Amino acid sequence: MRWRLFSSHFLVLMLSAVLTAGVLLFAARRELMLDLEVRLAEEARLLARLFAPVLAQNPSAEAIDRLAESTLGSSQVHVLVLSPDGRVLGHTENDFKNRLHRLIPNEWLTGGNKAWGLFGPVVEEGVVWVSAPVVSDGRLVGAVSLSVPLEAVNERLRVLAFGILAVVLLATACAALLSFHLASALVRPLRRVISVVGRMAEGDLSQRAYVEADGEVGELARNVNAMAEQLGKMLEDLAVSESTMRTVVSGMTDGIILTDPKGTVVLFNQAAERALGIRADQVLGRTVLDATLHIQLSDMVKMALDERKTSTAEITLLYPQRRVLSAFVSPVETDRGIIGSVVVFHDLTETRRVEQVRREFTADASHELKTPLASIKLMVESLLAGAKDDPEVEEQFLSVIASETNRLVAIVEDMLQLSAIEAQETTLRREEIPLGVPLQVVLETILPRLEAKSQKLTVDVPSEARFVGDAEAVERVLANLLDNAVKYTPDGGSISVTAEESDGKLVIKVADTGIGIPEEHQSRIFERFYRVDKARSRALGGTGLGLSIVKHLVEAMGGSVAVESTPGCGSTFTVVLPAA
């Protein structure tokens, strides 16, 4: 930029120098010519007065020549003396014949003394000449013509031209140096500004143009700095807005999918990841159909983009796992038109599962209550029909009624307890308690049943085994697990209770050598009212809620429960609680 600016300035300077030199040379030549013409005119008049008395006496040519030479000396001015009739009386040059006929104009001969004025100067054929009349006693006695070759003028002009050119070239050189310095002084801050603007264009808005120059360059630097400051604030505000939006979108419980006008996914929040079971990096840059493998959802997005229609639907995804979603799809429009679409969906999977569990629970609870109630009703109707008259039958029927009533009470109590646990209405304490305390209470109640079935009980629980939780809750867990072990272990079988601490956890295992649980039932045995063998479970007096209560109590204390079982070999229930 500096060289382009200097080159343009230099061309202007050269053009100005040429024009200046031309004007000066033209003016100098004109001045020289004017000076020459004035000098010739004065000398012509002087010679005319000098030759007047001489020509009046009709001197010889030699006398006239000597007089002319003595008057002008070795000057470059040539003299030609003429008679009134045009004869050459004397001369100091030889090349005058081509203008001889014009040296004495007719006006001098015919016009009288009023016409006896200076004739010339005239410039022709490389010579400047002038004629003056020679008058003596009121009559024209001749003429004097002075001439000077232009070469003399040109010689002086060449000398003057060299001086003018030298001065002009020196001034041009000085002006060029000054122009180069000024161009450098102007370009240097401009380059700093350009460099700063370039780094700003690359995204570094922390750069500032520090320029000491005033005027337009300084104002430009200040404007660039102000622009960078404003852009920095705008980008910072945009970044904050974007970060806020992403935080809000990421923290939303509803899944959000944002697409561009072509239907390509450009935003995929964490709720969408959880609902669809797909990571964001796996779907960004892909179409909705490729990302979700769901044609209906893809059609809804296409309809929003092509037809600008909003749609709502409940969709079911089968991959990578079954999910029920409530989807809302709408186009995103601005003044420029549709710039994409947004998909908002709520995961209804758990809601639908809870509804299904609720329906199943209602059905199971109704069925569980119906059986003992039907039995009680039958017994009462039989007694009313006359069975009460037979003491033996009456006692048998009353025994059945008492048994079924106890069963109803147990079911209702378990249902109330389970409901209270799920609704978090039961407050569980968190205390450091030795495991032996609740275990001893359970063993005292279970030992008579073990002896009745000749079952062997092995307890391997260190005295230092302690857990953090609720003693009554752990007591209920152990009671349910040991109750099931006694029920489903044949006479003469073995039951064991062990405990050990591992990685800050207390691992409690209740194992038996009972009938075992088939593998296809193991994942569901902790559900309410779920039984592997319903007839046998009811015959043994089970409510179908024991293991569900175990699961909820253990998880409420921050633990977990699992089962390992082999049909015909027995089962092992593992309870993990926080160790003290």
Task: Tell me the pLDDT of the chain (580 aa) as tens digits.
Answer: 555 655 666 677 677 777 877 787 788 778 877 887 788 888 878 888 877 877 777 766 666 666 666 665 445 677 777 777 767 676 666 555 445 445 556 555 554 555 456 666 777 767 777 888 878 777 777 788 877 777 777 777 777 778 777 777 787 778 777 777 776 666 677 777 777 777 777 777 777 776 666 667 677 777 877 887 888 788 788 888 877 777 777 778 788 899 999 999 998 888 888 878 788 888 888 988 888 778 888 899 999 999 889 999 988 877 767 788 899 999 998 888 888 999 998 888 888 877 777 777 777 677 667 777 888 888 888 888 877 778 888 888 888 888 888 878 877 777 777 777 766 666 788 899 999 999 999 999 899 999 999 999 999 999 899 999 999 999 989 999 999 999 899 999 999 999 999 889 999 999 999 999 998 888 888 887 777 765 444 445 556 788 888 998 999 899 999 999 999 899 999 999 999 8
Neighbours of 435 (CB within 10 A): 25
Residue spans of beta strands (DSSP E) within 232-317: 255-259, 265-268, 311-317
Closest CA to 305 of 271, 329, 281, 326: 329
Q: How far apart are CA 31 and CA 40, in angstroms?
A: 14
Residue spans of beta strands (DSSP E) within 230-295: 255-259, 265-268
Dihedral sign from CA coordinates of 45, 51, 56, 62: negative
Q: Is 562 helix (H, G, I), strand (E, B) or coil?
A: strand
Global pTM?
A: 0.43
Report the first-to-last Cα separation within the chain, whole angstroms: 80
Q: How far apart are CA 32 and CA 336, in angstroms?
A: 78
Closest CA to 255 of 286, 283, 235: 283
Tell me the CB-side half-sphere exposure of residue 383, using CA atoms within 13 A: 18
Element (H, E) at 564: strand 560-566
